[in-house]
Amino acid sequence: MTDTANRVREHNSAADLTDRIKSALATIVPENEKLTVAQLAPLDQFHARGILATTELADAAELAPSTRVLDLGCGIGGPARYLAATFGCKVIGIDLRPGFIGAATYLTERCELSDLVKFQIGDALHLPFENEAFDTVFLQHVAMSIEDRAALYAEVNRILTPKGRFVIHDIVLRDGDVVYPAPWARDASTSFLLSELDTRMALEQARFKPVLWRDDTQSTIDWLKAAMASSSSGPNLGAVIGPDFPVIIGNLARNLRENRLGVLSAVLTRY
Ligand SMILES: C[S@@+](CC[C@H](N)C(=O)[O-])C[C@H]1O[C@@H](n2cnc3c(N)ncnc32)[C@H](O)[C@@H]1O
């Protein structure tokens, strides 16, 4: 594992993550009861616009029960569980952080989805899969933590079938200095943002062409504004991110409002 991967691994890491999540969930469902994907959605979708973003991208990716899906940088597994529960497809989630994989596995058992969704620790740059092993790869809010974008996209290309779909949801660089800490990095040393144009060029060099390419910056600004104004007291991403959660979300909203960053959603196929 590279130095960068090790430093990314440390951001937000906490040995007691599963315990924190258990405590947050105990306020809405007793520990011996089954959880639903909908109940977990405010807490387990570790990206801007939450379950809404995953739902839109999944619809655009045209998933079916036979689709073999890889959720790359799966976090605590919210998107992977949503895809399996909604489309009946099998999903594998990979993440660098053992604490996230532990929490993802626990939550999936609580949702009784373990037959469809599996998780393993792994690095997106060295995937433990054969060529063409997946029909769809999801990559939500992960690329900005990976320095070698060419290697990342080449690895995705390798494990996708020729007609496979690559679904991305990224924060992109616009104009001006980024304010940290951000949801994916405590400071600039583990942040590897690209502009929308450079992202497009890197994808083209890895032989991907878009079937959907959408600027979601304004809808994300609106969503963050509503989320920050909400008085809901239920479990939220704070259980995963920790006590800095309000500062981190506030910084993301500011970076987007001030045009320092933007949000890109896309679905691509191989050339
Ligand atoms: C902001 S979270 C997004 C999680 C998930 N995709 C979601 O949307 O809920 C980014 C995730 O990418 C993971 N990650 C970063 N670099 C990685 C790498 N090189 N290989 C695998 N996972 C990585 C992090 O550990 C983290 O869980």
Question: Is 50 exceeded by the pLDDT of residue 159?
Answer: yes
Q: What is the pLDDT of residue 231?
A: 67
Q: What is the pLDDT of residue 99?
A: 96
The CA 261 to ligand 1 mean position distance, Å, reads 19
3-class secondary structure per residue, the chain: CCHHHHHHHHCCCCCCHHHHHHHHHHCCCCCCCCCCHHHHHHHHCCCCCHHHHHHHHHHHHCCCCCCEEEEECCCCCHHHHHHHHHHCCEEEEEECCHHHHHHHHHHHHHCCCCCCEEEEECECCECCCCCCCEEEEEEECCHHHCCCHHHHHHHHHHHEEEEEEEEEEEEEECCCCCCCCECCECCHHHCCCCEHHHHHHHHHHCCEEEEEEEECHHHHHHHHHHHHHCCCCCCCCHHHHCCCHHHHHHHHHHHHHCCCEEEEEEEEEEC
> Does ligand 1 lie within 6 Å of residue 155's CB atom?
no
Q: What is the tens place of the pLDDT at every residue in 26-81?
A: 989 999 899 999 999 999 999 999 999 999 999 999 999 999 999 999 999 999 99
Question: Is 70 exceeded by the pLDDT of residue 125?
Answer: yes
The CA 1 to ligand 1 mean position distance, Å, reads 15
Residue nearest atom 16 of ligand 1, based on CA coordinates: 145
Q: What is the pLDDT of residue 95?
A: 98
Q: What is the pLDDT of residue 229?
A: 87
> Does ligand 1 lie within 6 Å of residue 95's CB atom?
yes
The CA 73 to ligand 1 mean position distance, Å, reads 3
Range name among 23-32, 81-90, 138-147, 170-179 with the lowest pLDDT average: 23-32
Please tell me which residue, 6 or 268, carries the higher pLDDT value.
268
